A and B are shown apart, each in its own frame.
Chain A
Amino acid sequence: MNPSAPPTEVITAEAHVLVPEASRVASRPGLLRVMARDRTAMVGLVIVSTLSLAAVLAPLLSSHDPNAVDVARRFLPPSSEFPLGTDHLGRDVFARLLFGARVSISSALVATAGITAVGVLLGMVAGYLGGVVDTAISRVVDIMLALPTLLTALAVTAILGPGLDNVVVGIVIAAWPSYCRIVRGAVLAEREKDYVEAARAAGASSTRILRRHLLPNVVGPVVVMTTLELGITLLAISALSFLGLGVTPPTAEWGAMLSEGRTYLARASNMMLFPGAAIFLMVLGFNLLGDGLRDVLDPRTVHGAAWAAPRRRARRRRWHDVTGGDQALSPGQGRD
């Protein structure tokens, strides 16, 4: 898959539909309890926490140094001492996978945090302040979204030079705009609501309104998006790393391991199979979790409301957004 860009769009679409319901989200009781009943979300949670735990406990789970080179034991098949075999420098693939999890997962966390921070901040500012600020931010967003996210990330990283830090920066620069657009939409929708008007009439400051009223109401979509974004970001980081733009050797990282494994595809497929499986599982975990969270946070899909309630306008609005067209149809307009 072409990481990052594509799923963002669908998420854009669906998270948008969430917006009108967002005000209900914050007050929904027993989020975890509902989630516990959602099997997909639970499976996702289990996968994500297992792999994360393995990353944290890496030194306890493997007795081998992930970077210990021993050319006398290259390309060993899996055995009791080396559960996943050894690589082209005689290093333990299992140990590298565990320590690689630390690098891969933490860089995905950092990148996603960056995207969320920038996207939420600018999106809220644009949505709430409107006017020139909104126009300026929205134009930048439009231009950024006129390019495939991966290409932007690739180009930025290429300019900055290889290195995991630069990969993270490149991905944040490339991915915040779609986030920003969604948050802006959500804020626009909330802004028009009576209680915000009331707060404003009561003399509340902009910052206060943003923080106390608008932020809590965009939390729902943001949580779903962020969970899904973690998977997308992990894929993007692995992809850039696979292309040789990521970590410098000998650091273990899943994408880089896979790239090394590709060289020895026929000779030692263990070098390619396991890191790939790890990336796949982790991304799947985030996606299952995000998908489940959305089901929980979006009342329509939980209660089967979609079959009953006419959603013509919602669809049209969502639809237009997917096409990445102009901003004329703001979510606020289409509210039922």
Chain B
Amino acid sequence: MRRLRALVLILILALVGAACGDDPEETEGGQQPAVNESAELRVGFTDDQYVLEGPEANLSAYPLNTNVLETLTYLTPTYEVKPRLADRWEFRAPNTWRFHLHPGVRFHDGRPLNAQAVKEGLFERVAQRRGGGTIKAGPNSAVVVDDLTIDFTPTVPNVRVPEQIVHPQNAVIAPGADPGRNPIGTGPFRFVEYRPKERIVVERNPEYWGTRPSVARITFRFYADTNARLLALRAGDIDLAYQVPRDDVQALKNEGFTVLNSTVGAYRAMYATAHGAAPFDILQDINVRKAIALGVDRRKLVDGVLTGLATTDQTFVPPSSLGRHAGEVKGNPYDPARARQLLDQSGWRPGPDGIRVKDGRRLKLVLVSGFPSAEALRPTPVFLQSELRNLGIDVEIQERPDSASFQDLMEEKKGDLWIEEGNQNDANPGFLPTLLLYTGPGSAGSGVYQGVAAPGPRFDQLLEPSLTEVDLDTMQGQVAQALNEAITEQATLIPLAGIFRIYGMKKSVVGFQPHPSFLNISWLGVGVSA
């Protein structure tokens, strides 16, 4: 029975995948046109956010990954972890991960990649960061076992190291190289030149240990402004653009461009303030929370505002990162009648202007928008305002320019609903639920999100075993159950849409694999047709 359900689920997922706009396979496959070996590819990225100084320095790697540096493992577009610089790895109780490195790999300066280099160029570098980075590295965490074997023991138990180490912040740089000025790695491309806020240029590494890169050179240009980036693509200034606005996809296709979208790599969701004080106490009432979850027409949001380039599944982490358990997060399907009924039940009755009233108080909620930025989320808040008005809920929108000011407000619990778009950049589906919503034993987050939207003890009980579960599939199941509690039962987390990454390019660009996480794009097979 269980196997059958899993099978059906896989089928459904496959269908959803196929229905998601363009098929990514379109430009791949056997009959690829001849590729120009000496071509230069020009790519338009978003803003330049490289850090050039200190232990977080990450030129060429994060957030724009130019494939100069490589990680031990990497993340596939379906959120699987695959070998890269490490051929295999194993967990050694109580708290050690052993990585077996790929033999024969050399840095761009000719030095060999060995356990000592990984120790210095990865683990000791990460250990200097505050808190030892996401993988929790300490000064003595890494131990060289032999030339190609290294043991890593995080400062606190961490069973998700292989899933987290895919993040380009954890890339291996040649020992002694300056990660903020001259990144020397093992990747398919070598660093050539960087001009802050303007561009970064890389060239083919002819001695790359894997397959030969298809293009000779890639120039990445920074366009902080989405519109400028798009217009640059149209004007022929660039061959490929990240983050194409949904509204322009159809027009671009009509103009002869290829537009590819990834699978779901981000979620757009609201947190409901379930633990607020007056005047932000209305959503303490689970009925009102559920009414909101039930009362938003996600189909209309996806088709109308997000131009069909999103999914309506009520997701918080990309479904594929939950593996076969994705379907276990049910969500609250659109049901405005039931929503109204719940509001009635709680004593919120329609007032003269259509807004509900209870004991002389208007049903007015403050919706705060600002993560990653208010601009990125527009115009979704206005759409939600209009949707909730139909239920008799008055919504005031407050925009915060960036995530820091957004979280400041959340820390003070000065808001009822909090809309965010968060990315999943590694293969650990438990990371965000644990960081943001978990309050049980071993909770390591700051408590800001928990302060407004912690779903409660049952959620904590469901999630707790996942913190120490080494087996990925079992862990995915535990996280899925916990998310179902937060989303479907408690509605402190109200997902709105699963977001794709959309890339636009000239027809001449071939072999590009749209990745749901920007950070893990591979430029190896991307070419320009001759």
Contacts and interface: CB of A to CB of B under 8 A. Distances in A.
Direct A–B contact present (CB less than 8 angstroms): yes
Interface of A: 67-69, 71-72, 74-75, 88-89, 161-162, 244, 248-250, 260, 262-267
Contacts of A161: 400, 405
B278 interface: no
B401 A162 contact: yes
B234 to A, nearest CB: 7
B50 interface: no
A71 B304 contact: yes
Given A162-B401, A249-B379, A265-B231, A69 B386 contact: yes
> Shortest 9 CB-CB distances between A and B: which pairs?
A71-B304, A69-B386, A250-B382, A249-B382, A248-B399, A89-B379, A248-B397, A249-B397, A263-B227
A30 B139 CA distance: 85
A267 B401 contact: no
Interface string B359-403: 000000000000000110011011101100000000001111100
Contacts of A68: 386
A161 B405 CA distance: 9
B248 A267 contact: yes
Nearest to B395: A250
Given A69-B386, A161-B405, 10 more contacts: A69-B383, A69-B385, A72-B304, A88-B379, A161-B400, A250-B382, A263-B226, A263-B247, A265-B231, A267-B247
B375 A244 contact: yes
B251 A249 contact: no
Judged by DSSP, the binding face of A is loop
A179 to B, nearest CB: 30
A89 B227 contact: no
Given A249-B378, A265-B227, A267-B247, A244 B401 contact: yes
30 contacts: A67-B382, A69-B382, A69-B383, A69-B385, A69-B386, A71-B303, A71-B305, A71-B383, A89-B305, A89-B379, A89-B382, A161-B405, A162-B399, A244-B374, A244-B375, A248-B397, A248-B398, A249-B378, A249-B382, A249-B397, A249-B399, A250-B385, A260-B378, A260-B379, A262-B227, A263-B245, A265-B231, A266-B230, A266-B231, A267-B251
Interface residues of B, number: 28
Contacts of B401: 162, 244
B458 interface: no
Contact of A266 (B251, B300, B305, B400): B251
Contacts of A162: 374, 399-401
A262 B378 CA distance: 13
A162 B406 CA distance: 12
A162 B402 CA distance: 11
Contacts of A67: 382, 386
Contacts of B374: 162, 244
A120 B382 CA distance: 41
Residue from the set B245, B247, B379, B385 with the largest chain A CB neighbour count within 10 Å: B379
Nearest to B398: A248
Contacts of B378: 249, 260
Nearest to B409: A161
Judged by DSSP, the binding face of B is helix
Contacts of A74: 304
Residue from the set B251, B374, B383, B399 with the largest chain A CB neighbour count within 10 Å: B399
Contacts of B226: 263
A264 B247 contact: yes
A150 B396 CA distance: 29
Interface string B300-340: 10011100000000000000000000000000000000000
Interface string B226-260: 11001100100000000001011001000000000
Contacts of B375: 244
Nearest to A265: B227
Contacts of B400: 161-162
B44 to A, nearest CB: 15
Nearest to A68: B386
Interface in B390-425: 397-401, 405
Residue from the set A88, A263, A267 with the largest chain B CB neighbour count within 10 Å: A263
Contacts of B379: 88-89, 249, 260
A248 B382 CA distance: 10
A74 B378 CA distance: 15
B415 to A, nearest CB: 13
A264 B400 CA distance: 22
B300 A71 contact: yes
Contacts of B300: 71
Given A71-B300, A249-B382, A265-B227, A88 B399 contact: no
A88 B231 contact: no
A112 to B, nearest CB: 26
B246 to A, nearest CB: 10
B188 to A, nearest CB: 35
Nearest to A69: B386
Interface string B30-54: 0000000000000000000000000
A250 B388 CA distance: 14
Contacts of A250: 382, 385, 397
Contacts of A266: 230-231, 234, 248, 251
Contacts of B247: 75, 88, 263-264, 267
Nearest to A263: B227
A313 to B, nearest CB: 49
A162 B405 CA distance: 11
A68 B231 CA distance: 30
Nearest to B405: A161
A292 B366 CA distance: 47
B244 to A, nearest CB: 12
Nearest to B245: A263
Contacts of A262: 227
A248 B415 CA distance: 15
